[in-house]
Amino acid sequence: MKALEIIYKKNTKEKLTYSEIEYMVNSYVKNKISDHTMSEFLWAIYYNGLSMDETYYLTDVMIKSGETIDLSSIDKKVVDKHSTGGVGDKITLIVSPIVASAGVCVPKMSGRSLGLTGGTVDKLESITGYKLKITKKEFLNELETVGCAVISQSDKIAVADKKIYALRDEIGAVDSIPLIASSIMSKKIASGSDVIVIDLKVGKGAFMKNIKDATKLAKTMVNIGKYYNKKVICTLSDMNTPLGRNIGNSLEVKEAIDFFKGKYDKRLYELVVYISSLMISAAKGISQRKAKNLVINLIESGHARNKFVEWIKYQGGDLNKLKDNAKKYIVVSPKAGYVNEIDSLSIAKLVHDLGAGRHKKTDKIDYAVGVVLNKTIGEKVNKGDILGVIFYNKKLDNMEELFINSFKIDKKKRNVKKIIIKTIK
């Protein structure tokens, strides 16, 4: 009866107490209330929202539902970076070693993707030998010696979030700002960093479709950070266009390797430098301008590349052995003009159908498949020029058509939108 009373209270727009939220979450984790009853509770939140205090309560209960990581033994400034996910988002692979090479510690627990494209864990699994599961002692030792470590998300952190997130995904109650904020922040705070930089994607290829809602989510996460005495910085970045030129697990690792060799897409470089600068500035207490100069120097001098190689090797990975056995299909442009748009959602769906993404967590993915964009937004293209390459193992009947239709090519060139929209601290 108590669960129904709490749901009724939320449906009549009354504020819930800490103990009421704690009762619902913990009862669900312990299987004392059903999926159906919890679904009703989540829908009540979805339609009626949560106050800031209620959002703090929900986050706190989810943190306390599992273990927390103590990073106080590390004798370095520690900063975590999170991305809300996007098409071609290989930022963690590039930013982590850059920031680590500046003497700042970057602990990362990343997840697999359930959706259109692979998550960071899937990208790293495309590197032969890379160990995603290491002991807590090995994790802390790597952070001390290398400065960055990326492992798979622990099942013991924010246990309630994992179960609630799966139910939200199943019933479609995903795009609720307080539920998203408490989900992200419970995992980040439990992971132990005092500084958290969040790359919040906005646009067709992201779950936040517009700047207004993304801003509200960013402010909510910053406020949760303050509640826990954590410095949280949120950058809104454009995800209407794929990030970089490679989309697909091993293909994105290859783009990260190319980045450290000095071959990079302009928009990818801009976002990498910006996020890295934010992380270093916040951790070291220096201006963002000084941090940016340091980042550029670390990239150009080869220090960041050396750290990238050191990190991958430390976790058993061999960058010369990627799981990249796929066939190539070259796509040429049917007309001349300027590339004014590349639909990131359309590209993501194609890459998913090729086998790079999952419908459910247990699905196996093909690490080798994906697409490479030979032309990107703002570039001139002639009829017959190579538009891109599709990497496949199972050929789709309409894959060439889907790829071409993702591009909007016009006679007149439009201004290219900046990838950084705004930053909220």
In the CATH scheme, what is the code of domain 79-314? 3.40.1030.10
> Which residue out of 80, 89, 161, 366 is catalytically annotated?
161
Torsion of CA 300, 149, 154, 122, to 10 degrees: 50
Q: What is the DSSP string of 237-254?
A: EE-SS-SSSEESHHHHHH
Asked if 154 is an active-site residue, the reply is no
Asked if 39 is an active-site residue, the reply is no
Asked if 187 is an active-site residue, the reply is yes
- With beta carbons less than 8 A apart as the criterion, state whether 123 and 85 touch: no
Asked if 2 is an active-site residue, the reply is no
Residues contacting residue 43 through CB under 8 Å, at least 6 positions apart:
171, 173
79-314 against 327-410: fold identical: no
pLDDT mean for each 10 residues of the chain (425 residues)? 91 95 96 95 96 97 93 91 90 96 92 66 94 91 95 86 86 88 93 93 89 96 95 96 96 97 96 98 96 98 98 97 96 97 94 85 86 96 97 95 97 93 96
Residue among 351, 97, 321 nearest 245 (CA): 351
> Which residue out of 168, 245, 267, 358 is catalytically annotated?
168
In the prediction, which pLDDT does 110 show? 78
Global confidence as pTM: 0.93
In the prediction, which pLDDT does 152 show? 86
The CATH architecture that domain 327-410 belongs to is: Alpha-Beta Complex (3.90)
267: left (phi over 0), alpha (psi -120 to 50) or beta: alpha
> Which residue out of 82, 204, 230, 254 is catalytically annotated?
82
Q: pLDDT for 27-76, tens place per residue?
A: 999 999 999 999 999 999 999 999 999 999 999 999 999 999 889 889 88
Asked if 303 is an active-site residue, the reply is no
Domain parsing of the chain, residue ranges = 2-49, 79-314, 327-410
The count of C-alpha atoms lying within 13 angstroms of the C-alpha of 294, restricted to the half-sphere facing its C-beta, is: 21
Please give the Cα distance from 8 to 35 (Å, whole number). Answer: 17
Please give the Cα distance from 158 to 425 (Å, whole number). Answer: 24
> Which residue out of 27, 113, 152, 183 is catalytically annotated?
183
